[in-house]
Amino acid sequence: MSDDGRIVVSGLTKQYRKVRAVDDLSFTVQSGRVTGFLGPNGAGKTTTLRMILNLVTPTAGKATIGGVHYSQLAQPLRHVGAILEASSAHKGRTGRNHLRIICAAAGFPLKRADEALELVGLTPAAKRKFRGYSLGMRQRLGIAAALLGDPKVLILDEPANGLDPEGIRWMRDLLKALAQQGRTILVSSHLLSEMELLADDVIIIANGKLVKQGTMKAVINGLSTTERVRVRTPQAQELVKALGSEVSVETDDDVLLVTGASAPEVGAAALRAGVELHELVAEKPDLEHVFLELTAGKAGIR
Amino acid sequence: MGLIRSELMKIRTTNVWWLFGIGILIFTGMALTLWLFFGNDQIHQMQNAANFTPPTGENIPPEEIERMRREAAFLADKDRVLHLVASNIYTSGQFFGVMFVALLGAILFTNENFHQTATATFLTTPQRVKVIVAKFATAIIAAAFFWVLTTAINAAAGAIFFNAKGYDAQLTQWPVTRAILMNGLAYGLWAVLGVGLGVLIRNQIGTVVTLAVTYIIGTQAVQLVFTLIHEFWIKKDWVMDAMVGWPSVASQVMVSPEEAYPGSPKWWVGALVLIGYGLVFGVFGTLVTRTRDIS
């Protein structure tokens, strides 16, 4: 995949009457990877995505896809597919007609609509009116619309919202498959565990500003939280004694949370003291920890 | 072209087109019936007046007889009567048909907000001006369609009517042809005005109410206000001329073969006013829409 799918955001700012929704935001989304776009509610994720797609006019800064502004793409749907919130279809129109209308405007053959419906498994409901679609079916129709032009870049705003577990899993598999075909995928979400499974890179924003950008691994490991070991034992007191005074221990029922010693060290100490262990786990920091730490106090209503 | 095709599909794939179509057909049918009865009556009067013989008797003064003769001659004026009757029949349903077409034009844009399809539309075509131009073109096509449809129905009924009365169908008479053409112009211009208003106001219900009130109640209210101003305040002729500035009055001025109201300006002034409204709304709405946030 060439540079075509790179999304570059530089100095992007959106000032609403009283709120600076996005504040001098800059980041780059690499092509051929899944990038998770994270932030607390109201962080400016949706506004940023809409500015990239020329739906919201920035107060300052710019965003380009493959080096050009969205409005300058000759055939935008061939380059970029998007699923956004507050995007819908006419309630009285069938899903198939909704897609055919987009095909006509984009200059695609109308039969692309049927192919896209097939791709997302909506063919049985193709001629049903949008009014009767479940949330999951609506989301699938949105994806079908995004895939009409077989785009290199996919931008998705909270695609898992309102999906049931099966739907979420379907979405994950689909996005992974699309990424493996070499497409650029920028997906915003607040389902952090889901993101950890899906994304190669992460961009975290809060209050409209960039907090962290990097590969998933680097972001998670880059956090300075000291490693903790979780131990469950019926002989808590003996174990604490055996560990010595250099480590600090928090107790929670029969669970000990040990900082200052690695899991092998704790295991060795327990063996020497003849203490029985039921559980010994090194707690790795996960995306949720990192996210909450990085965005602490920045969430909420502005 | 793709955009216009897409816009036409938007109309065709919802209930809108046949609901509006039925509305237009019902009102056209009702108006047509009325005008046929009116025409029948007028032609009857014309035939009676043609056989006018001055009453004989001593106690009628000669001036009174002269007045009656003139009135009979007016009623018996065959060209005048047939042109009037034909014009009315062939433009039956204009009042509500034009309103429906204007509403159709208006919701072309407001629907996009109402059903949150603006996002999909502008993602597909980021050049928003193109989308709006396509909507104007689509509204004009829809207006032309409904004009042709209603005119065909009226022409069929009118031809049968005149044939039964023993007259020519009058379709080739210039005053009649002119009325039919003006009817088409009214359909087209109101469609444009509707789109412009929809682009400007955005809100579906707000636009529809504004348009319907302007169109239906507006005319009478404006005529009343201007007449009162003319009678009691500014007794100048330009006051009555200025009334044409109100779109629905302009429309009447345009389609009326004679003066729409005492002292009304020429028909083309009405046409210009309507074009002006459509352009101003459309251009201003387009400028605003170009940078408006879609969410």
pLDDT tens column, A26-40? 999 998 889 999 988
Strand partners, A12: A25
Phi and psi for A259 in degrees, rounded to 5?
-120, 140
- Neighboring chain B residues of A128 at a CB cutoff of 8 Å: none
Q: How close, in Å, is residue B94 to chain A by CA atoms?
A: 29
Does B33 have pLDDT greater than 90? yes
* Per-residue confidence band for A2, with pLDDT thresholds at 50, 70 and 90: very low
The residue in chain B having the minimum alpha-carbon distance to the alpha carbon of residue A84 is B119
Per-residue confidence (pLDDT) for residue A162, from 0 to 100: 75
For the stretch A254-281, pLDDT in tens is: 788 888 888 888 899 889 988 899 998 8
Chain mean pLDDT for chain A: 88
The single residue listed with the structure tokens 């005048």 is B80
Q: CB atoms < 10 A from the CB of A168, how many?
A: 17
Q: B13 contacts in A (CB within 8 Å)?
A: 90, 93-94, 97, 100-101
Q: How far apart are CA A106 and CA B138, in angstroms?
A: 17
Number of CB atoms found within 10 A of residue A69's CB: 13
Nearest to B13 among A76, A101, A105 (CB): A101
What's the pLDDT score for residue B226? Answer: 82
Between A247 and B280, whose confidence is greater? B280
User: Rounded to an integer, what distance in angstroms lies between the CA atom of residue A25 and that of residue B107?
Assistant: 37
User: Do B112 and B120 contact (CB within 8 A), yes or no?
Assistant: no
- Chain A residue numbers with beta carbons less than 8 Å from the beta carbon of B15 are 92
Token pair 């629905």 is found at B248
- Spatial separation of the C-alpha atoms in residues B85 and A101, rounded to whole Å: 44
pLDDT tens for each residue of A108-133 = 999 999 999 999 999 999 999 999 99
Burial of B147 (0-12, 13-18, 19+ CB in 10 A): buried
Average pLDDT over residues B75-90: 89
A154-186: per-residue pLDDT in tens? 999 988 887 888 888 888 888 888 888 889 999
How many helices (H) and strands (E) chain A has is answered by: 11, 13
* Spatial CA neighbour of A197 closest among A173, A167, A178: A173
Share of chain B above pLDDT 90, in %: 39
Chain A residues touching B121 at Cβ < 8 A? 105
In this structure, are residues A52 and A65 in contact, taking their beta carbons and an 8 Å threshold?
A: yes
Distance from CA of B288 to the nearest CA of A (A): 12
SS3 (DSSP) at A282:
strand
pLDDT computed for residue A299 by the predictor = 54
pLDDT of residue A224: 55
**Closest Cα of chain A to B37: distance in Å?**
40
Contact: B125, A105; criterion CB under 8 Å: yes
- Residue A48 has a pLDDT of 95
**Residue of chain A whose Cα is closest to the Cα of B119:** A87
pLDDT at B138: 95
A300: pLDDT strictly greater than 70: no
- Is there a contact between B6 and A104 if contact means CB atoms under 8 Å apart? yes
Mapping DSSP onto H, E and C, the string for B144-207 reads: HHHHHHHHHHHHHHHHHHHHHHCCCCCCCCHHHHHHHHHHHHHHHHHHHHHHHHHHHHCCHHHH
Tokens of B8: 């036409």
Q: Cβ–Cβ of A87/B119 closer than 8 Å?
A: yes
Measured distance CA(A257)–CA(A243) in Å, rounded: 12
* Residue of A209, A234, A231, A179 whose CA lies nearest to A31: A179
- Taking a C-beta distance cutoff of 8 angstroms, is the pair B198, B286 a contact? no
Task: Tell me the per-residue pLDDT of B206-261, one tens digit each, with 9 for 90 and over.
Answer: 988 988 888 887 777 887 888 888 788 877 777 777 888 888 888 888 887 777 77
Residue B205, Cβ density class (10 Å: 0-12 exposed, 13-18 middle, ≥19 buried):
exposed
Sheet holding A153-157, edge to edge: A80-83, A153-157, A184-188, A34-38, A201-206, A209-215
Question: What mean pLDDT comes out for the span B63-79?
Answer: 85
The verdict on a CB contact (< 8 Å) between A82 and B123 is yes
Give me the sheet containing A228-232, strands edge to edge.
A248-252, A255-259, A228-232, A279-283
What is the interface size between A and B, counted as CB pairs within 8 Å? 87
Give B-chain residues touching A82 at CB under 8 angstroms. 123
Q: Is pLDDT at A1 greater than 60 in this prediction?
A: no
Give CA–CA dist B49/B52, Å, rounded.
5
Cα radius of gyration rounded to whole Å, chain B: 23
Cα separations (Å) of B14 from A49, A99, A248, A301?
30, 14, 69, 40
pLDDT tens digits along B157-186: 999 999 998 888 888 888 899 889 999 999
Q: Which residues in B lie closer than 8 A to residue A76 (C-beta atoms)?
A: 123-126
| Region A129-143 average pLDDT | 91
Chain A nearest C-alpha distance from B294 (Å): 5
- CB A76 to CB B126 under 8 A? yes
Token pair for B17: 């087109």
CA distance B220 to B261: 12
Neighbours of A32 (CB within 10 A): 17
With an 8 Å Cβ cutoff, the interface of chain A facing chain B consists of: 46, 50, 53-57, 70-71, 73, 76-77, 80, 82, 84, 86-94, 97-98, 100-102, 104-107, 145
Tell me the mean pLDDT in the region B37-57. 85
Residue contact A57–B291, C-beta within 8 A: yes
Question: pLDDT band for position B39 (50/70/90)?
Answer: very high
Q: How far apart are CA A35 and CA A278, in angstroms?
A: 39
Parallel, antiparallel, or unpaired: how do β-strands A201-206 and A209-215 relate? antiparallel
Q: What is the DSSP letter of B94?
A: H
Percent of residues in chain A assigned helix, strand, coil, to nearest 5: 40, 25, 35
List, for residues A206-254, the tens digit of each pLDDT value.
989 999 899 988 888 776 556 788 889 888 888 888 888 778 888 877 7
**Which of the residue ranges A28-37, A136-145, B282-291 would you say has the lowest mean pLDDT?**
B282-291
Closest partner CB to B14 (pick from A55, A88, A93): A93
Mutate to test the interface with A, among B17, B119, B122 (most CBs of A within 10 A): B119
CA B230 to CA B213: how far, in whole Å? Answer: 24
Query: Which residues does residue A88 pair with via DSSP β-bridges, in sequence order?
Result: none
- State mean pLDDT over A96-115: 95
pLDDT digits (tens, 9 = 90+) for B9-27: 999 998 888 899 999 999 9
Rounded Cα distance, A133 and A139, in Å: 9
Q: Using CA atoms, how far apart are residues A34 and B266, in angstroms rounded to an integer?
A: 67
Taking phi over 0 as left and psi of -120 to 50 as alpha, with beta for the rest, A208 belongs to left
- Chain A residues inside the 8 Å CB shell of B2: 104-107
Q: Which amino acid is it at B36?
A: L
Question: CB of A113 within 8 A of CB of A99?
Answer: yes
Q: What is d(CA B180, CA B144) in angstroms, rounded to the nearest whole number?
A: 12
Domain limits, chain B: 2-33+90-291
Set of chain B residues whose Cβ sits within 8 Å of the Cβ of A84: 119
